[in-house]
Structures are given as structure tokens and as C-alpha cells.
């Protein structure tokens, strides 16, 4: 059955672009231009994912997201015209699952949609990307068959990124999951350990292929 995607966007050209794109990929697209009718619809009907424009005419997109998150955990990808990293971080902290910034390519948006529709990968699975293999049951990491030693913190960060593969994680999401809630707003902790992880896992640590930085926001492990 076609996955249902609700598009909340007040710009007619962008709305039309998005719904046409979704339909060509056999998604069912539902269009809304205003925040309140979209919320009222979502109280009655379920959808699989939401594309949310942060700059709505009738209400602030961040406020809309906070309202939705008070009763729903449907995946939300924010579409932001704003270059500000603060807006993206705020949206993610308000419960958005991911974002794209205008202008974005159709391929980029579709990849984000696929990643966010995907169910979380079960914990017993062996993960692999490039020549790296990660076995969560044995807590073993190897590269081309050779064991790699990771510290506990490095391993915890890697596993968190793997469980959210292809999706963005903010500095604070990583800090609270790996270090604990008392450690938020210490992005330098994450930066240091990500540097070490790249040294151990990436062929070119200075030009990482998998452990990608989202500038000002956080990190994304790209499997493709
Ligand atoms: Ca808008």
C-alpha cells in the first residue's frame, strides 16, 4: 500500500513540485497550505510522514511542530528556506526527525524520505558500510576482517549513528544519549570523539565518506 505523506507548505509552486515528485514515486501525497487544518486532519487520520515548511502563513512552523509532538511521533522532515543553523537545530530539538534546506535536489529529498520511513534496524543485526563491520551482540568492530579497537564512548557514538543511519543527529541528541542529559551543550566532546572515530574507520579521515558533519547541527552516518 502506498505510504501517505502529508505536505504542509504555503508556497503553491513548492507545494506543486513536492506533490508531483511524491506521486511519481508512488507515494500518496496530501497537501495542506495552512497549519491548523493540517493539525485537525492529523487528529482524525494517520499518515506515514510529514514534510513541513517552517515559514507558514497562518502559524509558525516551529510552533506547529511543538503542537504536533504533544500527541504524535509521526516522522517530520522540515523544509527550510532559512540558512540559519539555529532554525534547523531548534526544529530538531522541537522533535523534527530531519531537514532539507532550499534549494535541495529531488534525489536528496527522496533519500531523506526513504531513510525516515525506514523502521529502526533491529539491534541484533550486523551492520556494515564500506569495509567496516559492526557486530552489536559481540560489540566487535572490524575493517576488512581486522579487529578495530574502539573506546566505549566511540563505540556508543558509532552504534547510535548506525541505529539512525542516513538520518541527522544533533550534538545534543548524541550528548544526551551517550554521555547523559547533564552533558548537553558540550559539542566539543562529540567533535573530539568523532575525530577519533574517523581516524579509525575512514580511509580519508579529513574527507569522510560515512561519518558526515552537518555544519552547526550535528552528524549523519551515510551508508550509501
Ligand atoms: Ca512558506
pLDDT (tens digit, 9 = 90+) per residue, 132-148?
999 988 899 999 999 99
Q: What is the reported pLDDT for 80?
A: 84
For 164, other C-beta atoms within 10 Å of its C-beta total 22
Coil, strand or helix at 201: helix
> Where in the chain are the domains?
4-117, 127-221
Please check whether the two domains, 4-117 and 127-221, share a CATH topology: no
**9 CA to centre of ligand 1 in angstroms:** 6
> Per-residue confidence at 121, pLDDT binned at 50, 70, 90?
low
Q: How far apart are CA 39 and CA 109, in angstroms?
A: 23
| Confidence at residue 126, expressed as pLDDT on a 0 to 100 scale | 87
| pTM, rounded to two decimals | 0.81
Q: How far is the CA of 222 from the centre of ligand 1 (A)?
A: 29
- From the CA of 187, how far away is ligand 1's center (Å)? 31
Q: What is the DSSP string of 133-183?
A: EEETTTTEEEETTEEE---HHHHHHHHHHHHTTTSEEEHHHHHHHHT-GGG
CA of 35 to the centre of ligand 1 (A): 11
Ligand 1 centroid–CA 81 distance in Å is 8
The yes-or-no verdict on residue 191 having pLDDT over 60 is yes
Question: For domain 4-117, which CATH number applies: 3.40.50.920, 2.40.30.30, 3.40.50.2300, 3.40.50.10420?
Answer: 3.40.50.2300
Q: How far is the CA of 59 from the centre of ligand 1 (A)?
A: 10
Q: What is the DSSP letter of 2?
A: P
Residue 168's nearest CA partner among 208, 117, 115 is 115
Q: How far is the CA of 41 from the centre of ligand 1 (A)?
A: 20
CA of 19 to the centre of ligand 1 (A): 15
The CA distance from 19 to 220, in Å, is 26
Question: What separation in Å is there between the alpha carbon of 36 and the centre of ligand 1?
Answer: 15
Asked if the model's pLDDT at residue 151 lies above 90, the reply is: yes
Q: Which of 112, 113, 8 is nearest to 60 (CA)?
A: 8
CATH code at 127-221: 1.10.10.10
Query: Using an 8 Å Cβ cutoff, are 190 and 171 in contact?
Result: yes
Distance of CA 138 from the midpoint of ligand 1 (Å): 48
Identity of the highest mean pLDDT range in 24-33, 125-134, 173-182: 24-33
Amino acid at each position: 500500500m502506498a505510504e501517505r505523506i502529508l505536505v504542509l507548505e504555503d508556497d503553491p509552486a513548492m507545494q506543486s513540485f513536492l506533490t508531483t515528485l511524491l506521486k511519481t514515486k508512488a507515494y500518496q501525497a496530501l497537501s495542506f497550505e495552512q497549519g491548523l487544518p493540517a493539525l485537525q486532519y492529523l487528529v482524525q487520520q494517520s499518515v506515514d510522514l510529514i514534510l513541513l515548511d517552517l515559514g507558514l502563513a497562518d502559524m509558525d512552523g516551529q510552533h506547529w511542530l511543538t503542537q504536533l509532538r504533544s500527541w504524535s511521533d509521526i516522522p517530520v522532515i522540515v523544509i527550510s528556506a532559512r540558512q540559519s543553523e539555529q532554525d534547523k537545530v531548534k526544529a530538531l530539538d522541537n522533535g523534527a526527525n530531519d531537514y532539507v534546506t532550499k534549494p535541495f535536489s529531488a534525489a536528496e529529498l527522496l533519500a531523506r524520505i526513504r531513510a525516515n520511513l525506514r523502521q529502526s534496524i533491529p539491534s541484533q543485526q550486523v551492520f556494515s558500510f564500506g569495509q567496516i563491520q559492526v557486530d552489536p551482540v559481540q560489540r566487535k568492530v572490524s575493517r576488512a576482517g581486522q579487529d578495530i579497537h574502539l573506546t566505549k564512548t566511540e563505540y556508543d557514538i558509532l552504534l547510535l549513528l548506525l541505529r539512525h543511519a542516513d538520518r541527522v543527529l544533533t550534538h545534543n541528541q548524541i550528548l544526551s544519549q551517550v554521555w547523559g542529559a547533564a552533558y548537553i551543550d558540550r559539542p566539543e566532546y562529540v567533535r573530539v570523539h568523532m575525530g577519533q572515530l574517523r581516524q579509525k574507520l575512514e580511509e580519508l579521515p579529513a574527507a569522510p565518506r560515512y561519518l558526515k558533519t552537518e555544519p552547526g547541527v550535528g552528524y549523519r552516518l551515510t551508508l550509501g
